[in-house]
Chains A and B, each alone.
Chain A
Amino acid sequence: MRWFSQVYYRYSKIWKVITLYFIIAGPGLVVMIADNDAGGITTYMATGARFGYGLIWFLIVLVPVAYYVQEMTVRLGAVTKRGHAEAIFDGFGAFWGWFSLADLMLVDWLTLVTEFVGMTAALRIFGIPPYLTVIGVCLLLGIIVLNGRYWTWEKIALVFCAFNLIYIPGAFIVHPSVSQVVRQGLVPNFPGGFNGELFFYLMANIGTTIAPWMLFFQQSAVVDKGMTEKDIPWGKFDTMLGSFVTGLVGVFIIIVGGTVLKGVDIDSAGQASRLLMGVNHYLGTFMAIGLFDAGLLGAICISLASSWAFGEIFGWAHSLNNKIKEAPWFYANYFLTLITAGVVVLIPRAPLVLITLFVQVVAVTLLPAALVFLILLLNDKKTMGEYRNTLIQNILNITIVVVIISLSSLYGISVLFPKMFQ
């Protein structure tokens, strides 16, 4: 009897911890998995198609990097109760504040266009015309945010996050050789030698793993959720789990690309899905559903990131807990961003490829600034108190930031001058 009561006590304790995690889980998981957006899927698929399993190790290295960068936004949001945009305005003055806000607005809008490109391409495979996709997505996202509760929005977003895992069973359909994946993928190497093309792919993978909108989004989400200092350990765990899942999904996409599309030039995830449909109907369907979900998840988060930022600065009510009547400007901004981005995709002969390239270049101008501000804010003793960066965190984070800034700058330059690294 005593043994039973001990087992019951132990398991009920574990269950309580799991339940508590599911209440607190959210911003970290959502932002990390949303990072595997339409652009991310394309990058992973193209990486697999070009280098096989050879760069899987690099994606694994990026998992802790993404965690350490995003974890700082959890602490900053929970301690200051301010979003990232407001923290920059307050900490560094109006000049840097406006620069970050304008840059964020531009990057978010352009990225949102690329999400719509991915979603329309995915549903076109099932015969759904782009205009129906755009209308459907705008309506769906409208319904999700207008329910008037952050909690509900977050749990719906988590359901879409679960769909992102569809790439994992997708990889098993193609029967990859496990020994080859381990031998070629897990041992750090530079397939074909360190050349310009490889460098471009390495930087593209960094660019899809750490994006400026993620910093703004997670900090605002932490604030909107009402997380406090005592929730920081949970927020960190949430972010760690999210970065692990996003890395895992990325690895499985590379495995699919490396197994069935090796040697094929991949321009878009839509093209990859169509090719995979020819290999195996179920695989193609999985990939198309995954691509649509990735675009949708990206759209859910990115459209909110700029609305939150504008709300913080202009002093509008800016919480998902507000009804549309209570926060009209917040929702107006949200729908304006969403609808205009959707409409661009429907314009015949719109320069979508140019937009995709431009996103990367503009993001490069915002990312270094956002990262530098993040480190400086996390070292502000007056605001952060005991939650400021420790020496080890500073060494780690500054190293990460310096490497990211150097590589992302070179990436931006390589997008502007493609022949430079060939």
Chain B
Amino acid sequence: MWKILRRQFGKIGEINRKYSKPRIEMSMPVRLSLLLLRGYLIFLVGLMVFRFITLLR
């Protein structure tokens, strides 16, 4: 069982290598969209962390 699970976890590295390069051409609009998405998600996660800390207080 442990062996099987270890093999599945080992697959994660394999997947990372397989998808290391994005296949979609990184044109300006694509780069900009992904950058905005990153910013948006960081903002949202930051908001959640802030809420969590204020709730704990």
Contacts and interface: CB of A to CB of B under 8 A. Distances in A.
Interface string A69-104: 000000000000000000001111110110100000
Interface residues of A, number: 29
Given A93-B20, A368-B37, A409 B44 contact: yes
B30 to A, nearest CB: 6
Contacts of B48: 361, 416
B11 A376 contact: no
B8 to A, nearest CB: 7
B37 A365 contact: no
Interface in B27-42: 30, 33-34, 37, 40-41
B45 interface: yes
A369 interface: yes
Contacts of B45: 365
B19 interface: yes
A412 interface: yes
A376 B19 contact: no
Contacts, number: 57
A97 B37 contact: no
A314 interface: yes
B40 to A, nearest CB: 6
B37 A94 contact: no
Contacts of B16: 94
Nearest to A314: B11
Given A92-B22, A417-B51, A412 B15 contact: no
B15 to A, nearest CB: 6
Task: Give the residue among A92, A314, A382, A409 with the most B Cβ atoms within 10 A.
Answer: A92
A263 B41 CA distance: 37
A314 B13 CA distance: 11
Contact of A368 (B15, B25, B40): B40
A92 B24 contact: yes
A377 B15 contact: no
Contacts of B44: 364-365, 409, 412
A313 interface: yes
A372 interface: yes
A413 interface: yes
B23 A416 contact: no
Nearest to B52: A416
Given A372-B33, A416-B47, A93 B22 contact: yes
Given A314-B8, A314-B15, A91 B33 contact: no
Contact of B24 (A97, A313, A377, A416): A377
A315 interface: yes
A266 B36 CA distance: 37
Contacts of A97: 15, 19
Contacts of A382: 25
Contacts of B3: none
Enumerate the 4 nearest inter-chain pairs by beta-carbon distance, A residue then B residue, closest first. Answer: A93-B22, A91-B24, A94-B19, A89-B19
A380 interface: yes
Given A93-B20, A369-B37, A409-B40, 20 more contacts: A91-B22, A91-B23, A91-B24, A92-B22, A92-B24, A93-B19, A96-B34, A313-B15, A314-B15, A365-B41, A365-B45, A368-B37, A368-B40, A369-B41, A372-B34, A376-B30, A413-B47, A416-B47, A416-B48, A417-B51
B31 to A, nearest CB: 11
Given A364-B44, A416-B47, A417-B51, A92 B8 contact: no
A94 B20 contact: yes
B50 to A, nearest CB: 9
A417 B40 CA distance: 18
Contacts of A369: 37, 41
A97 B51 CA distance: 27
